Amino acid sequence: MRKKILNLILIILSFLSFLPAFAKAPAKQLNLAAVKQVVKSKLLEVQKCYTDLIIEGMAKAGTVVVAWDIDDKGVVQNLTIKENTSGDQALAGCVTEKVQNWVFPPAEPEMTFAATYSFKFGN
């Protein structure tokens, strides 16, 4: 009897070991807070655009406002500069290059999520 119980326990444990393969961890929901979290985690990359220009003696203070869509794979699409008060095309180009390569939580299937962020440089 004891052997049967042990065998039953082993069968149940074997079955349970397969469950994680079928269970999916819930995907992080894409919302404004999730976008801000990714942006904040990447701010040093964008700040480096400005500090590199300072080193070259070409930095101009200002704000670069970037807008983009996030697709259902979390990939940045349709990135545009909405405003560039610095007037510095090198700064704006560097910022867009950085943002274009970021990965966000995915939007709803077959949908996009619009995002806009103002990056402030200098004073």
> What letter would DSSP give residue 103?
B
> What letter would DSSP give residue 24?
P
pTM value is 0.74
Taken in order 94, 39, 52, 55, is the CA torsion positive or negative? Answer: positive
- Where do the structural domains in the chain lie, given as residue ranges? 28-121
User: Residue 71: helix, strand or coil by DSSP?
Assistant: coil
Residue 5 has pLDDT above 80, yes or no: no
113: which 2 tokens?
């999520």
Could you tell me the fold of the domain covering 28-121?
TolA/TonB C-terminal domain (3.30.2420)
pLDDT digits (tens, 9 = 90+) for 57-80: 999 999 999 999 999 999 999 999
Confidence of residue 2 (pLDDT cuts 50, 70, 90): low
